[in-house]
Chain A
Amino acid sequence: MLQVISLLLENKPGALMRVTGLLSARGYNIESLTVARTTDPTLSRMTIVVDVDAVLRKQVIKQMNRLINVLQAADLTEGPAVARELVLMRVRAAMESRAAILKEAEIFGARVIDSSLEGFALEATGEAEKLDEFIDVMRSYGEIEVTRSGTVAVSLEPRKLRLSSPVATGTGTKSQSTTGVLNG
């Protein structure tokens, strides 16, 4: 069973590597990773799917939270959350199987986004396991080419986002910023 870590981080060069470095330094592979800007363009939302045991995952998430560019890292594995993935697929199909392919696509809730003499381009979203089945089924009709987006996930419970306030600069200052609480 794979696990999902969701991060809110600053949209800055190198931020991605800081996060993934904590996994690669331990020799852990990333199963999937998506990252995109949020409604606030200075921030990105990242979803990582990994296979890391619970104790180590907790430790790694703490270390992710320690990164300066990370505003929040959370484990969505246990809590209430929804996760979805997108598949784009090109399927080459002989004329006689085209109708059957469209029928199967409908069953999986996939949409046709391009149609040509060679076959179709299809788009499907869903949980990763469901998409595995969809891909298997389509493979039985002919040659396919698949691109998966990787999982994106959103927590279903509100999380408090703790952010630090500005601090003054200057000689010898070791003034330490206090932490305020915002709703995120």
Chain B
Amino acid sequence: MSNLMSGAKILLECLAREGVDCIFGYPGGVTLPFYDALYDHPIRHVLVRHEENAAFAAEGYSRATGKVGVCCATSGPGATNLTTGLVDAMMDSIPIVALTGQVTSKLIGSDAFQEADTFGITRPCTKHNYLVKNLADLPQVIHEAFYLANSGRPGPVLVDIPKDVFQGHYQYTPVNSIHLPGYKIHLDGHAGQIRRAAQMMWEAKRPYVYGGGGILASGATKELQELVETLDAPCVLTLMGLGSLPSSHPNFISMPGMHGSYAANMGMYDCDLLIALGVRFDDRVTGRLAAFAPHAKVIHVDIDPAEIGKNRTPDLPIVGDLKRVLSKLNKNLQELAPSMQETNSAGRREWWSMMRGWQAEHPLQPEFSTDEIKPQHLITEIDKISGGNAIVSVDVGQHQMWSAQFIRFNEPRLWLSSSGLGSMGFGLPAAIGAAFARPDKTVIAIMGDGGFQMSVPELGTIASQGLPVKMIIMNNGYLGMVRQWQELFYNNRLSSVTLDCFPDAEKLAGAYGFKGRTVEKPGELKAALDECFAEPGPYLLNVKVTPFENVFPMVPAGGAINEMVLGPVKPVTA
């Protein structure tokens, strides 16, 4: 009895075997056979309004769960529209699988209608990519794609499938094993190095934990907390790492870097042992490298050997999966504790008093006004409502930095932020992905008026799917972060940053059939937020905030991390 199946059905079979329950996509000519097979298949397809947002939604789904997000686009423009999302996932090490249609094999290279060299274009945008020329290879490739996306250092994988491969028929038998001989994953850190790391930690007077997205990718949050508590070390978390340790944890300081807190950055400067976990020493964290943690020895743990020594040469590198490395490290720390714990306990008490001093000296403090809504005021009100429990998806810019400073997270995977690439237009589609992934959670999308206007088409997706996403626009009428830089570094010559003609939020939301509102008085903010969160469906809240507020502290690009601008230098005149 032969079991001939179409390529499209084989693809769905493989996706189901990988546990896919939801695909974000946009159909087109060459993916017609796939969409026909999808018509009566249990896997849910979410029709977005632009392919870029399919990739962002897949990222949101993945960031909120740790599972592989899946997006789908047609050939040519569909595939090229995905690329920003692919690079975004690449920069933040987010596991997504992108499926693209390609023109019929025989037409490849003939400038056929809607043809683009997707395999070539997306090569540097992905962890790995495939062009499937033979249907027989399809199951193997799909399983490889999922394995590659979510193992080792996670990332995006693209599979380009010509129309004739979807249409062909083949005797399907499930592929139970894949073999990628050149795909080297180092999971277990070197035992001797881990032992040495534990010794260095007890020997340090001023240990400092610098944690990043790798902790979430590895699922090592419990191990991180144990390490931080055993050592009683201060811990900073990068934009990608927020939520790895509960924000309420006494050892958590804040985010470090360009818009990190005074204490976080002074700690970076003065520590004598920097424990770097799943981080990549990004320029937005380090500032001028030569002045970054200048007195510190560095222990760097990462699963990707190519990250070790890329920006800062560590004194002790450990290549491995953080969950495994940290659990061994914690055992080593416990074993060494009786003999070493007290070695530098006086120094460490002094270290904490320095940290607490810096925290008290310049805390991250929201601004309030009785005349206008300060952006920090808005963010702290959102934080109060969330109580550390909501999923917060942000866009890129000032509101993103204020959110990182003021919003608390009780658990991992609540904070969705395009961090490495900084893609405007990320916040809303990522919230859509998260809303499908975590229907049990309140999902808030905080956007600037710039990023929101890149995402307006997705209001259609939100409306048609009835997604209860709380969309909050921090509207200052400007591309705020660019304006801030023009003010500070370009003599306040505000060039092409004014966003006038913002639509009426109530009418805009109403046009899509859900509720919206604009507020501009501080006294009305709380009631407006309450109304927004009380609404069972989607809600678009447009909050007009002080136009000329700047994000502080700020380490100017290329500056030393301990040389922060803590507040406005001079009164600003528009």
Partner-B contacts on A (CB < 8 A): 9-10, 13-14, 17-18, 21, 25, 58-59, 62-63, 65-71, 162-174, 176-179
Contacts and interface: CB of A to CB of B under 8 A. Distances in A.
Interface string B118-157: 0110011001110100000000000100111011100000
Nearest to B151: A176
B315 interface: no
Interface string B294-331: 00000000001110111000000000010000000000
Interface string B489-510: 0000000000000000000000
B110 interface: no
Given A68-B183, A177-B151, 18 more contacts: A9-B182, A14-B120, A14-B123, A21-B123, A58-B309, A65-B306, A66-B306, A70-B182, A166-B178, A169-B146, A169-B147, A169-B176, A170-B18, A171-B18, A172-B67, A176-B321, A177-B183, A178-B187
Nearest to A73: B182
Main secondary structure of the interface of B (DSSP, over half): loop
Nearest to A69: B182
B175 interface: yes
Given A66-B304, A176-B152, A177-B180, A169 B143 contact: yes
B177 A168 contact: yes
Nearest to A177: B185
B17 interface: yes
Given A59-B310, A67-B182, A171-B19, A166 B123 contact: no
15 contacts: A14-B129, A68-B127, A71-B182, A162-B184, A165-B179, A167-B177, A167-B178, A169-B143, A169-B174, A171-B17, A172-B18, A173-B147, A176-B187, A177-B151, A177-B185
Interface of B: 17-19, 67, 119-120, 123-124, 127-129, 131, 143, 146-148, 150-152, 174-187, 304-306, 308-310, 321
Contacts of A10: 181-182
Contacts of B186: 179
Nearest to B67: A172
Contact of A166 (B127, B177, B309): B177
Nearest to A72: B182
Given A164-B184, A176-B185, A179-B186, A25 B124 contact: yes
B342 to A, nearest CB: 39
A170 B184 contact: no
Given A172-B19, A173-B147, A176-B187, A65 B179 contact: no
A176 B188 CA distance: 11
B132 to A, nearest CB: 11
A58 B310 CA distance: 9
A179 B185 contact: yes
A52 to B, nearest CB: 15
